[in-house]
Amino acid sequence: MRGGLQDRVSRRGRHRTRWGPPFVGGQASYFIGLNRGKRSVIVNLKCGEGVELCLRMMEKVDVVIENFRPGTMSRLGLGYEPVRARNPRIVYCSISGYGQNGPSRDEPAMDLILQASSGLMSVTGTADGNRGAAVTLSPMLAPECLL
């Protein structure tokens, strides 16, 4: 976090970042590392009340960063235009694994998929043959690309 308050909006259910081990105080260390210092709220974005709640929250913030597949926020009624209509000073950033256009724009882009498709997974791993980077990269690198 580079200053200011961060709010995390998520859906109900078990999120991938809560997977473990290792666990600290009943929470996955991965989840703690990505979300430390953030306030969290669970919102159902597939119902009108949830969308309206998000729009009201977006009226009061400076920046919205979303990482759905391209077009998802617009389909939910939370795209740039409706948000800007309620908050003209908003900075709205959409991050997706394969960009906003191009042949792979609609593909899922979880960290392990990006490691494999980029070739990173082939040069990292453990002596016993398990492959994968020692740390999850995409949630940490994506915000840095915004700066």
- Residues counted in the chain: 147
Neighbours of 73 (CB within 10 A): 21
DSSP-derived letter for residue 60 is T
Q: Tens digits of per-residue pLDDT, 56-77?
A: 999 999 999 988 889 999 999 9
Task: Please list, in sequence order, all residues whose beta carbon lies within 8 angstroms of the beta carbon of residue 118, skipping any fewer than 6 positions away.
Answer: none
Interatomic CA distance for residues 91 and 1, integer angstroms: 17
Residue with tokens 């709205």: 92
118 or 82: which leads in pLDDT: 82
Interatomic CA distance for residues 72 and 137, integer angstroms: 23
1 or 103: which leads in pLDDT: 103
Task: Report, as an integer, the average pLDDT of 22-51.
Answer: 82
Answer whether residue 1 shows pLDDT above 50: no
Interatomic CA distance for residues 29 and 100, integer angstroms: 31
Residue 87: the pLDDT is 97
